Structure 1
Amino acid sequence: GLEAGQKVVASGQFLLDSEASLRGLTAQGLEEPATSTETALHEAEGTIVSLEDGMVGLSHGPFKTLNMPGMTMSFPVADQSLLSGLQVDDRVRVGVRESDEGLVIERIEKLGGQK
């Protein structure tokens, strides 16, 4: 556990930059692949537990590409039109993107066999 006043590293980028410098690589070269993965959508399946104020409450399985276990949480939606025709208890597949505000749903679709 942590105690009040202890310092915590919030980013490991300096370690990558330092290692790159030791090996004669440029930090810019290391960052290019990371940028392309940041734009990728991360997918999981789940059940809608709430729909309110542009947020989707979702009981979801793991987002494997984020090493994130399944849980129940609320996500903002990038575009309100994505919620058209959805209701609580629908089984869905979502695609989320990391942003400064956290994970944002950019794609959501009902799983087969639902009206």
Structure 2
Amino acid sequence: MSEGEVRKVDKAGKKITLRHGPLKNLDMPPMTMAFQVSEPELLDKVKVGDKVRFAASNPGGKLTVTQIELAN
């Protein structure tokens, strides 16, 4: 799980924009970027400004958040 902050929630587009730290499993440096979500319901758990922990993968070249939860 990686850490980040929610910058935008796009329920219609099924996307979330996160400012995140390094994503070691994807070999990515810290940045702000939009991800697709594996399930639209994930977007109901968060709002802009929330600190979160999340898991992301890259199926078919599309960066996708597969899990998300509020950070403590």
TM-score normalised by length of structure 2 = 0.88
Residue 55 (str. 1) matches residue 15 (str. 2)? yes
Aligned residues: 70
Q: Which amino acid aligns with 1:111?
A: A
Q: Which amino acid aligns with 1:85?
A: K
Give the drift of 1:58.
0.4
1:85 corresponding residue in structure 2: 45
| More helix per residue | 1
Q: Which has the higher contact order (CA 8 A, sep 6+)?
A: 2
Structure 1 residue ranges, 4+ long, deviating more than 4 angstroms after superposition: none
* Rounded Cα–Cα distance in structure 1 between residues aligned with 2:26 and 2:45: 28
Residue 96 (str. 1) matches residue 25 (str. 2)? no
Higher alpha-carbon Rg? 1
Q: Which amino acid aligns with 2:57?
A: R
The 1:61–1:97 alpha-carbon spacing in structure 2 relative to 1, beyond 3 Å, is same
Which runs of 5 or more structure 2 residues have no equivalent in the other structure? none
RMSD of aligned Cα (Å): 1.1
Which runs of 5 or more structure 1 residues have no equivalent in the other structure? 1-42
TM-score normalised by length of structure 1 = 0.57
Give the drift of 1:67.
2.1
| More strand per residue | 2
